[in-house]
């Protein structure tokens, strides 16, 4: 059975994908760097209601095993968001 993510974990997932895209773009030698994030209904509420402050991004303060895993791998994970 496939477990559904909470809407808060979905927002965290979206933010983590944007973070990973940004890290990859930083390593690029291209003079123009563009990341396109294609979303679907899973993120509609989070995006329409402004759950993510794109000028000061931070993960939702909820139990989220995937974010906890990333924090264990990289203790600076949250600080690197800015």
pLDDT tens digit sequence for 17-69: 988 888 888 888 888 888 887 777 788 899 999 999 999 999 999 999 999 99
Q: Is the pTM of this model over 0.75?
A: yes
Other CB atoms within 10 A of residue 18 CB? 16
Burial of 37 (0-12, 13-18, 19+ CB in 10 A): exposed
Of 29, 33, 48, 27, the C-alpha closest to 14 is 48
- Work out the pLDDT band at 1, boundaries 50, 70, 90: very low
Q: In the prediction, which pLDDT does 75 show?
A: 92
pLDDT tens for residues 6-19? Answer: 899 999 999 999 88
Sequence spans of domains, the chain: 7-21+37-81
**Residue closest to 12 by CA, chosen among 55, 65, 73:** 65
Question: What confidence tier does 3 reach under pLDDT thresholds 50, 70, 90?
Answer: low
């Amino acid at each position: 059975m496939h477990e559904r993510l909470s809407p808060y974990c979905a927002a965290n997932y979206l933010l983590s994908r944007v973070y990973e895209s940004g890290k990859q773009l930083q390593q690029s030698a291209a003079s123009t760097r563009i990341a396109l994030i294609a979303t679907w209904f899973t993120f509609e509420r989070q995006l329409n209601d402004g759950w993510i402050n794109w000028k000061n991004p931070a993960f939702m303060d909820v139990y989220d095993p995937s974010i906890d895993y990333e924090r264990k791998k990289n203790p600076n994970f949250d600080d690197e968001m800015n």
